[in-house]
Structure 1
Amino acid sequence: MVAPENRVEDLCSDCFRWEEDPSTAGLLQQNRSVYHYNDHMKEVLAIYKFRGDAVLVQVFRKAFHQTFEATWSKDLPILVPIPLSTDRKYERGFNQSLLLAELLLGNPEELLSKTNSEKQSKKARKERMERENTFYVPDPEAVKDKRILLIDDIYTTGTTVRMAAKVLKDAGAKDIYSYTLVRS
């Protein structure tokens, strides 16, 4: 649920909720986000993600890198961007999570894949949390006994990173963390 250096008062209500559920307890060691979601960030993310302005990732370089260094610089995990389905990647022209991962030290490894599914941005919280897991690990040997840092643009309900963590854990990953640009 949380790395030893973190305090209970640093935890959000989602951490407690996810840890109470036996099916999701212990999947993530920690999630860290750089920014909180607000009206301005909503507009920036819409431009970045949905209107194809991939170069906008550079605006986040300094803060994204500094928070990463402060949290994970001592023992670097493998950087694994949350994948997009083939349809979504074709639609956008890029994977926003991969671009964020490329801002950090180390080389991102695309160790997860995703089947085509409905857009999550249009779903309500309950619908997001009840959806089927569409992630899979094509090569379980590549994650076995590894420390993984999932990279994503936004943490809304925690469902995405936990579904990704579930398949990674089932494939043998040792510890899984997540790092997001924004936390709603």
Structure 2
Amino acid sequence: MNHFQQDHCLICNNVIQPTIGWRAIFSIEKEQLICSACEANLKKIEGETCRICCRPFYQLDEKFRKGEWCNDCFRWEEDPEWQGLLEKNHSLFLYNEFLKEVIAKYKFRGDYMLAKVFASDIKEALTKMRADLLVPIPLSEERLYERGFNQAVALLNESDFSPSEILTRVHSEKQSKKSRSDRIHLPQVFKVAADSNIQGKKVVLIDDIYTTGSTLRHAAKLLKAAGAASIQSLTLAR
């Protein structure tokens, strides 16, 4: 690698100022892909979170908390139809204005390179989760055609994991345009490939953002019915 050539931040494209100091010498193998300003804007989720969806409790008014759960997860879990389907969602970063912009750039402007930015964090999280199958949430055909790639698949590929693309989308309507009750009562949006062997498997679903948890739970419901032992999820943002 030519160290005279200046590296540019994959997010803002500014030149990355090399970190000088003893720590930099020891972390030379970890390639710097983003500048320190962008890195400071990516807020990792820390502290106490909802046991299921990873929502940080410090961001939540006490009245929307039910013990270890946030109110939303509590409502999902009290519904016998959805209870226990999604064991746990792990999210890496807070969905702040900065990350919102980064993900929009990644998804809608087709900036595939941004998958590299998150690869090492995803690799670390998935290594701990030890899944049998990593299942990306699929896009509809028209959405895939528009974007040119599925962002969840790209995140796995860049992190050196093999996606098991066993889910396909039955129909597509923008989730964000629906009310909560519409989302819960959606007909099943996914189907499982006929030849997929998921009996007794530990599955981790991969998506970019955890919003209401509806998409992940629809997928989990289907996989559970097809014999999966447990379903967790990993998302970039919460």
What TM-score do the two structures reach when normalised by structure 2?
0.67
Match of 1:155 in 2: 210
CA distance in 1, matches of 2:93, 2:71: 17
- Asked whether the equivalents of residues 148 and 173 of structure 1 are also in contact (C-alpha less than 8 Å), the reply is yes
SS in 2 for 1:101: helix
- The CA distance in 2 between the partners of 1:94 and 1:55, in whole Å, is 12
Output one character per residue of 1:57-97: Cα deviation in whole Å (capped at 9) or x when no partner.
1111122222333x41xx33311101111111111110011
Q: Which moved more, 1:126-135 or 1:33-42?
A: 126-135
Q: Secondary structure at the match of 1:151?
A: strand
SS at match of 2:106: helix
Contact preservation (8 Å) 1:137, 1:167? yes
Q: Is 1:52 the equivalent of 2:110?
A: yes
* Conservation of the 8 A alpha-carbon contact between 1:82 and 1:152: yes
Q: Which runs of 5+ in 2 are unaligned?
A: 1-50, 53-65
- For the residues of structure 2 that align with 1:23 and 1:140, how far apart are their CA atoms? 26
Task: Verify: 1:170 aligned to 2:228, yes or no.
Answer: no
Counterpart contact for 2:120–2:159, Cα < 8 Å: no
Match of 1:20 among 71, 74, 78: 78
Q: For the residues of structure 2 that align with 1:103 and 1:9, how far apart are their CA atoms?
A: 37
Percent identity between matched residues is: 49
- Relative to structure 1, the CA distance from residue 26 to residue 41 in structure 2 (aligned partners, 3 Å threshold; closer, same or farther) is same
The structure showing larger relative contact order (alpha-carbon pairs under 8 Å, at least 6 residues apart) is: 1
Mapping of 1:45-84 within 5 angstroms? 45-69=103-127, 71-72=128-129, 75-84=130-139
Residue in structure 1 matching 2:200, options 129, 145, 152: 145
Q: In 1, Cα distance between the equivalents of 2:233 and 2:190?
A: 15
Q: Which moved more, 1:20-29 or 1:75-84?
A: 75-84
Quick check: 2:123–2:159 contact (8 Å CA) kept in 1? yes
Do the aligned partners of residues 124 and 35 (structure 1) sit closer, same or farther apart at CA in structure 2, a change above 3 Å counting? farther
Q: Is the 8 A contact 2:199 2:227 kept in 1?
A: yes
SS of the counterpart of 1:102? Answer: helix
What letter is aligned with 1:85?
S
| 8 Å contact from structure 1 (residues 86, 115) kept in 2 | no
- Deviation at residue 123 of structure 1 after TM alignment: 3.7
Question: Could you say if the C-alpha distance between residues 92 and 121 of structure 1 is closer, same or farther in structure 2, counting changes exceeding 3 Å?
Answer: farther
Aligned 8 A contact 1:112 1:137 in 2: yes
- C-alpha displacement at 1:153, in angstroms? 0.4
2:89 alignment partner, SS class: strand
CA contact (8 A) 1:129 1:157 kept: no
- What is the alpha-carbon distance in structure 1 between the residues aligned to residue 185 and residue 179 of structure 2? 10
SS in structure 2 opposite 1:37? coil
